[in-house]
Amino acid sequence: MAALALTQGGPGAAWFHNRVLAALLVAALCAALGLAFLSVAPNRLVSGTGLGLRELLSPAHALLGLPFAGLVVAIFVRPSRAVHATVVVSAALLLAGLVWLAGAEAARHSGALPTLTRVSLGGGFWAVALLLWLMAADALQRLGLSLAQRTLAHVAVLLPLFLLLGAGALDQLSLLKEYANRDDVFRAAGLRHVQIVAATLLPSLLIGVPLGVAASRSERLATTLFAALNVIQTVPSIALFALLIAPLSGLAAALPGWGIRGIGLLPAVIALTLYALLPIVHGTASGLRQVPVAAVAAATGMGMTARQVFWRVEVPLALPVLLSGLRVTTVQVIGLAVVAALIGAGGFGALVFQGLASSALDLVMLGVLPVVALAIVVDAGLALATAALEGPQP
């Protein structure tokens, strides 16, 4: 009957209210029942055996049924703010509950003594966690909150996970064991990653914004410039890194005292800057182009100097578009910086490639998760900044 209503839709199925939630919940159930929730291996080098959620759950976990029931009921209840809030809270609780369950199971398998046993999070866990996150995000969207409120709510949904992490409830998971083994390497990689991103963004802005301003003034320059930047964008990142090694090594040989090297931070930053130029130049140019012609004409006609027109009228009106270009660029650079580890630039990418080389999937995750988190946090921060700047406009 539920499946019938799902396909029928329309007013005939008035008792069936939230189709998105229903679809996500069905998918989550399939993932929970069909995929391994945890995988247990005797040591970190061999592949483990999968454990389904069905095998893990016992009557002792009955409390988890409460938020699950909340989600199921929300599908069939007339939508209201209270229902959406219930979905957010239920999804957050269920997510925290499952993470806690994974941590507890890992602890049970590892026992009290130090052991080589590794308990990793399986595909089922990641799929269910992602789907629960989507349920919460969808409900937050429906609540019609402001951007700032929504961002805060997302933080609140994730808060229990950080509490579990801080309380040590997850310490026996393989992911955390990898972290414990490489605590200092992880911190150094994080610092390096941020350094790469910052060292890329600074020259990108210093070169890209003036180029964007020039491109917005001259159609001819814009055509040539964007053609060149588009070509750079089509070169695969590994190829671009490799291409830079030879000329930089040559330069290093020619200028021995300058600290130039064919591998490491310098070629990485140069390559990433070349990639970052397109969105920065594009954001600047299109931001300036969408400034109303009449506003510039009026500003000039009333006696502003060219500089005053630029700083008082054009820049503030172009800033939201420029900032969203910067947002895209930053997220792109955070991701691309992973590949820079291949030429010895370091960063989280070093963990990823080390993990890939030793087929240690949890080490790969240890490199990937902070990159994703960094990208999401920076994206949200810049989105908030853009919204604050747009303030009075429609």
Residues contacting 248, CB < 8 A, separation 6+? 260, 261, 262, 266, 267, 270
Tell me how far CA of residue 113 lies from CA of 71, 107, 343, in angstroms.
39, 10, 40
- The reply to whether 388 sits near another protein by the rule CB under 8 A is no
Q: How far is the CB of 322 from another protein (least distance, A)?
A: 14
Region 336-375 residues binding another protein, contact defined as CB under 8 A? none
Q: Identify the residue among 46, 155, 298, 388 touching another protein (CB under 8 A).
A: 298
List binders of another protein among 317-336 (CB under 8 A).
317
34, 144, 250, 292: which one contacts another protein (CB under 8 A)?
292
Q: Which of 10, 114, 166, 394 binds another protein (CB under 8 A)?
A: 394
Contacts for 329 with CB less than 8 Å, ≥ 6 apart:
201, 204, 276, 279, 280, 283
Task: Please give the Cα distance from 99 to 164 (Å, whole number).
Answer: 8
Strand ranges of the sheet holding 118-121, from the earlier edge strand across to the other edge: 49-51, 38-41, 118-121
**Smallest separation, CB 319 to another protein (Å):** 9
Candidate ranges 126-134, 176-184, 239-247, 295-303; the one touching another protein (CB under 8 A): 295-303
297 is an interface residue for another protein by CB under 8 A: yes
With CB under 8 A as the contact rule, which of the stretches 138-146, 260-268, 293-301, 326-334 interacts with another protein?
A: 293-301
Q: What's the sign of the alpha-carbon dihedral 115, 179, 152, 37?
A: negative
**CA-angle at 379, arms to 378 and 381, nearest 5°:** 60
Q: Is 180 in the site for another protein (CB under 8 A)?
A: no
Structure tokens at 110: 């590892």
Task: Map the footprint of another protein across residues 300-319, applying CB under 8 A.
Answer: 300-305, 308, 313, 316-317
Pick the closer one to another protein by CB: 259 or 303.
Answer: 303
How far is it, in rounded angstroms, from Cα 178 to Cα 180? 5
| 2, 82, 295, 356: residue in contact with another protein (rule CB under 8 A) | 295
In angstroms, what is the minimal distance from the CB of 387 to another protein? 14
Q: Where are the alpha helices (DSSP H) in 167-236?
A: 174-181, 183-217, 219-234
The CA distance from 237 to 254, in Å, is 26
Contact region with another protein (CB under 8 A), list: 41-49, 83-91, 242-250, 288-296: 288-296
* Per CB under 8 A, 299 contacts another protein: yes
Alpha helices in 80-145 (DSSP H): 81-110, 123-142
Closer Cβ to another protein, 139 or 318, answer by number: 318
Q: Cβ 215 to another protein, closest distance in Å? A: 23
Cα–Cα distance measured from residue 203 to residue 144, given in angstroms and rounded to the nearest whole number: 39
CB 394 to another protein: min, Å: 5
Residue 385 touching another protein (CB under 8 A): no
Distance CA(39)–CA(49), nearest Å, equals 5
Which residues bind to another protein, rule: CB under 8 A? 292, 294-305, 308, 313, 316-317, 392-394
